[in-house]
Amino acid sequence: MMPATDKTNADPSNANILLVDDDALLRRSTARLLRQAGHRVDEQPDGEAALQALSKGNYDVVLTDLSMPRLDGLELLRRIRSFDSELPVILVTGAPDLGSAVEAVELGATRYLTKPFRHEALKEAVERAAMAIRTSRQLRDRVHAVALDDAALSSALDRAIATLDLAVQPILCFSERKVFAHEALVRPIEPGLASPDRLFAAAERLERIREVGRAVRARAAQIVQQLPGFLFVNIHPIELTDDHLFSPASPLSEVAPRIVLEITERAALDKIEGLRNRIGQLRALGFRIAVDDLGSGYSGLASFSQLEPEVVKLDMSLVRNIHLMPTQQRVVTAMLRLCRELGHAVVAEGVEVGEEARMLASLGCDLMQGYLFGRPEKLSPKSM
């Protein structure tokens, strides 16, 4: 057993990895590869042993085989999610099938790799997962350990709200090579809160999400008139308890037919009373509803039945290198088919290269967003 180590080390090439595989030879060779890349690796032969290790040590990533005795990879993933919703779990299998791949996504697997895997693909998957979890942990630790008292933090949040601005990123209709919509992205400038994560972490700590949401929506109502197509505006579930969101006289309600409200942090939806009725009120005002990160497993597919969205966004973990990953192609194909049957439009997020875009188009996904088509940019003063 490796000793517990500092979980806030942000270097993704120095991760604590729990490697689980009943094939001793393959386990040792994979561990050797990861150690050569600079990672610390704890090897376990099956899921039961892995759970014991998890109860005693701190890990950044779990890399597990799918088919194992006693406790297979999917059941291990299910057990992990019962006590840790964010720990990255990468599943590896030599016999991929659509059923296990879809279940893995539903349970929150970070990646689903097939054997034999390319060494670079494995190292990239591990480092991306390690960076994501460590960034999340660091942010949480910074918020809890911030030197400012709540009064000073509240003053900083006041200034952040007063100076808050939005950037926009295009969403393209690939077949027509034209802009379908833009997504509005928060860009705070207040020192100490100068990132969306820090801003919303502070707002959550101070229970001021509704105030931030009102400022974002007011700014979005100003910029939508300068843009073609729809504007996607992110809202936190807590905003669904704010009467201002449902007022026909609010600035955003006045342009509701051009607004798609993108629900984030969907794990918090269960705490919202009368959710279906609230969503119905928003639709009556003219808003459309979108949900993000289909495929990340963060809150599963349950929120889709709760929200019945007009638009669904595929998580970038399914988009990245999709032209090289047959299993990802099959999973995305199945998700596109399901969304078509349910009447959801689908947007693929995180498209960075032409090969990804062309593969997505061939699978039937025509709406795309990512650096290939444009980075988030603030509107110039002239366009305002």
In sequence order, what DSSP letters do the residues of 18-65 get, joined into one string? EEE-S-HHHHHHHHHHHHHTT-EEEEESSHHHHHHHHHHS--SEEEEE
pLDDT of 197 over the 80 cut: yes
CATH of domain 148-383: 3.20.20.450
pLDDT, tens only, 110-126: 787 877 777 888 888 88
Confidence at residue 208, expressed as pLDDT on a 0 to 100 scale: 95
Cα–Cα distance for residue pair 168/184, rounded to 1 Å: 5
Name the burial class of residue 207, with classes exposed (0-12), middle (13-18) and buried (19+) by CB atoms within 10 angstroms of its CB: exposed
Residues in contact with 338: Cβ distance below 8 Å, sequence separation at least 6, in sequence order: none
pLDDT, tens only, 139-148: 555 555 444 5
pLDDT band at 296 (very low <50, low <70, confident <90, very high): low
Q: Is the peptide bond prior to 116 cis by the omega test (within 30 degrees of 0)?
A: yes
pLDDT band at 137 (very low <50, low <70, confident <90, very high): low
Is 148-383 in the same CATH topology as 16-139? no
Confidence at residue 267, expressed as pLDDT on a 0 to 100 scale: 62
pLDDT, tens only, 9-62: 445 558 899 999 998 889 999 999 999 888 899 999 989 889 988 888 789 999
pLDDT, tens only, 67-87: 888 788 889 998 898 888 788
CATH class belonging to 16-139: alpha beta
Cα–Cα distance for residue pair 88/129, rounded to 1 Å: 6
Q: What are the boundaries of each domain within the chain?
A: 16-139, 148-383
Confidence at residue 58, expressed as pLDDT on a 0 to 100 scale: 85
Are 198 and 227 spatial neighbours (Cβ–Cβ below 8 Å)?
A: no
pLDDT band at 2 (very low <50, low <70, confident <90, very high): very low
Confidence at residue 189, expressed as pLDDT on a 0 to 100 scale: 87
Are 159 and 148 spatial neighbours (Cβ–Cβ below 8 Å)?
A: no
